[in-house]
Structure 1
Amino acid sequence: MPTTVLAVRGMTCQNCVRHVTEALTEVPGVQSVKVDLAAGTATVEHTTATHEALVAAVEEAGYEA
């Protein structure tokens, strides 16, 4: 299963982590999401989700990817 690691800028707290996790989880084809606040990353395991769709979900949640 493909794994994509996104750099996510703008996260400052666990609430931000929750927002990013929820946004990415809603992308069709996403199997799992792990967001690391300290590293500023989101690791996404997916089947059919594209990189562009993942970035768009993060940006729509109000963060930079």
Structure 2
Amino acid sequence: MSTVTYRVDGMTCGHCAQSVSREVGALAGVTEVAVDLEAHTVAVTGPATESDVAAAVAEAGYTARGAVS
């Protein structure tokens, strides 16, 4: 399974990171989510598409700016 890292704008605290992790983690097939608050990224392991991740991040109240790796 592949892991893709996305840039996330707007995260400033632990609560932000938890919200993003919870929403992205709820996507079908996602097996791991790792939020890096300092780097403003979320690494997603599983078959989620970029648009799925962007929608989940938006649901949490933030903006995904595309894959960085």
TM-score tier by shorter-chain length is: over 0.9
* Cα distance per residue 1:11-62 (max 9 Å; x no partner): 010000000000000000101000000000000100x321110111001111
Matched residue count: 64
- Whole-Å Cα distance in 1 between the matches of residues 29 and 38 of structure 2? 26
Provide structure 2 residue ranges, at least 5 long, that are not aligned to the other structure.
65-69
1:55 counterpart residue number? 54
Structure 1 runs, 4 residues or longer, greater than 4 Å off: none
Aligned CA RMSD, in angstroms, stands at 0.7
* Identity across the alignment (%): 44
Q: TM-score, normalised by structure 2?
A: 0.88
Provide structure 1 residue ranges, at least 5 long, that are not aligned to the other structure.
none
Q: TM-score, normalised by structure 1?
A: 0.93
- Whole-Å Cα distance in 1 between the matches of residues 38 and 48 of structure 2? 25
SS in 2 for 1:4: strand
